[in-house]
Amino acid sequence: MSILDRFRLDGKVALVTGASRGIGRASALALAESGADVVLAARRPGPLEEAAAEVTKLGRKALAVPTDTNDAAACDALVTRALETFGRVDVLVNNAGGTAPLTALALSDAELEQAFRFNVVSGFRLARALAPHMKNNGYGSVINMSSAMSHLVDSGFVAYGTTKAALDHMTRLLAAEWAPHLRVNAISAGATVTDALEAFMSMDELRDAMIARHPLKRLGSPEDIAAAVLYLASPASAWVTGKVFEIDGGAVGSTWPIPIPSGL
């Protein structure tokens, strides 16, 4: 087997949440290009079907399942549809998540609990449901999409950063508990140009300020993150589990360019 063959996913099935755009869409296409059939989940049916069509153009099967991962029943239904359609899921990419900046004094208990549901609980629920099937099929890789803010600090990110830090350690704990039957890793993604980030980067000076905080002097692309997803999904990373990969342009401090007063 050549080294490039170890990145192939022929005969495998991947499930990607948040797959209609950004990192999720790029990851779904990367996995399909490497040979996997793909189950795509996201809340918006239109863009989700468009992403699924791109998978089929690559010669792979695609199943689009409109899903709100905040809804436990919807997550259960997603797993059921995936297994009924393909009979297996070998790779789970827990990409759906996110929490808008909000200072601690403005953060309600309900908002913090919602951040945990979106960024931690939903991914756990999918991983827990699929782990036995992965073991039985003899292949399993779970990839959790974390954030550089899980280990960096800045005002306004207590909910987002705390929940992503929890996701990082959940990754390590699940990896230890489920080894050697399947692997669990995470990607700590830095500032990546997605629709969510573009909504904040409406002014050139803000974008320039963010770029200047990266040693590599550019923001990330969804494909930068998708390349790491492919590595962790494939046999190329067969000796890797319980790790959090920092894909962030070399950033060692917060790259957020907008000061957010604490309110104190």
Nearest alpha carbon to residue 248 among 196, 157, 221? 221
Q: What is the residue-averaged pLDDT of the chain?
A: 96
Predicted local confidence at residue 126, as pLDDT = 98
pLDDT of residue 197 exceeding 80, the answer is no
pTM for the structure as a whole: 0.97
pLDDT band at 1 (very low <50, low <70, confident <90, very high): confident
Give residue-wise pLDDT tens across range 44-89: 999 999 999 999 999 999 999 999 999 999 999 999 999 999 999 9
User: Between the CA atoms of 190, 195, 198 and 200, what dihedral angle is there, to the nearest 10 degrees?
Assistant: -90
Nearest alpha carbon to residue 94 among 117, 63, 110, 114? 117
C-alpha dist (Å) from residue 87 to 47, 70, 79, 168, 193: 25, 25, 11, 29, 35
pLDDT band at 172 (very low <50, low <70, confident <90, very high): very high
To 5 degrees, how large is the angle CA 174–CA 31–CA 120? Answer: 30
- CA 163 to CA 122: how far, in whole Å? 12
Give residue-wise pLDDT tens across range 182-191: 999 999 999 9
Give the CATH superfamily of 4-246.
NAD(P)-binding Rossmann-like Domain (3.40.50.720)
Beta bridge partners of 244: 186
Predicted local confidence at residue 200, as pLDDT = 66
pLDDT of residue 3 exceeding 90, the answer is yes
- CA 246 to CA 12: how far, in whole Å? 26
Predicted local confidence at residue 202, as pLDDT = 66
Predicted local confidence at residue 201, as pLDDT = 67
What's the average model confidence in pLDDT over 143-153?
Answer: 98
Given 7, 86, 118, 160, the catalytic residue: 160
Number of H-type helices and E-type strands within the chain: 9, 7
Predicted local confidence at residue 205, as pLDDT = 84
- CA 135 to CA 138: how far, in whole Å? 5
Is 160 in the active site? yes
Quote the percentage of the chain above a pLDDT of 90.
Answer: 93
Nearest alpha carbon to residue 247 among 5, 26, 41, 91? 26
Predicted local confidence at residue 206, as pLDDT = 86
- Where residue 156 falls (left for φ over 0; alpha for ψ -120 to 50; beta otherwise) is left
